[in-house]
Structures are given as structure tokens and as C-alpha cells.
Amino acid sequence: MQVTYRLADEDYRALAHFLMHQTPRGKRVLRRQIVGMCAFSLAGVAIVYALRDDRILAILFGGFCFVLMNLMRRHAVKLQRERIYRLIARKDDSGKHPPGTLKLTPEALEAETSKGTGAIPWSGVTRVARDASHIFIILGKANAFAVPRRDFESQEAFDAFYNRALEYHARTRTAHPE
């Protein structure tokens, strides 16, 4: 089964969002940011209460710290998504995203891009996932393929490609449990 795809900026942004919010590493980063935000707020409350012995002022300052850290965290998440986007977005010399071809075989995921061809064994695929508009084939921490729905002839072809990728990936996982 084979598909030729052409990614646009929004496809790379969807992939960056997926990597940031749906992978274990991305979720760990977000959890650490939230824990840090709460710790900073509690430290602010403790410091103000220790210095001024005023509970109301301490609570207000803690709330201010929480809001400030939440704004900083949201900005950091945006910056991280943009960083991932810049790492994975591939453009040719004309500034356009070159087309690529993915072929699913029982042994490997075969990829052909303007830079060359290669085969990734299914054991090298970390995860196969999808949303309403993309199929994501995750190869590592920041290495993945995103195949947009619009490059398939029909919804059935999109579903068949996803199911075949899941089947090959699951077959490898059961043959070589980690």
C-alpha cells in the first residue's frame, strides 16, 4: 500500500502539536512545567507570609505568581511547538515542501523524498496514531511522518492505510516484545 503526499505548513504544525501533546516525552515536559508553576506559586506565598506576616497579601501574591507562571508556560509551549516545527519542516530550494511517498510493506516503512529513499523497519517505529485529518507515524523523539487525509482518494483509503500501518506495527511488537 502506497501514498504520495505533499505537506503544507499546517501539516507540520499539526505534527509538532501532536509530538508536543500526545507523546510521552511531550506530556512529561508539560507536567514538569505545571509542577514548577505550582511550586513557584507556593514559594511566593511562603516568602511573602514569612516577610510580612499578612495572609491576604501572601495569597494575592501567590495568585499573581500562578497567573504569571501560567502565561509563561503557555508561551513556552508555543515556542517549543515552533522549535519542533522548524526541526521537522522540510522545504526545498524554492521554499516549498517537496512531495514524498510512503509505502507500507510487512517488513518496513519505505520512504522516498526529494533527499533520497530509505526503509525503516517496523521495529524502528515507535507509534502509529491518527486524528481526523492526519496519520502520524512516530519514529523517535522528534522524527515522524505526517500523512494528510487530503492526499487519499477517499476516507476508506485513509482508514485502510492507517489500519495496515497499525497491523504491521503491531505484528512487529508481538514478534519482538520489549
Q: HSE (CB half, 13 Å, CA atoms) of 125?
A: 26
User: How do residues 54-91 score in pLDDT, each as one tens digit?
Assistant: 778 877 887 887 888 778 777 777 777 777 666 666 65
Q: For the residues 118-126, what does the mean pLDDT come to?
A: 85
**What percent of the chain lies above the pLDDT cut of 70?**
78
The residue with greater pLDDT, 73 or 120, is 120
pTM, two decimal places: 0.65
pLDDT of 7 above 90? no
> How far is residue 65's CA from residue 91's CA, in Å, rounded to a whole number?
41
Could you give the angle at the alpha carbon of 7 between the alpha carbons of 5 and 9, nearest 5°?
A: 170
Confidence of residue 156 (pLDDT cuts 50, 70, 90): very high
Q: HSE (CB half, 13 Å, CA atoms) of 26?
A: 19
Mean residue pLDDT of the chain comes to 77
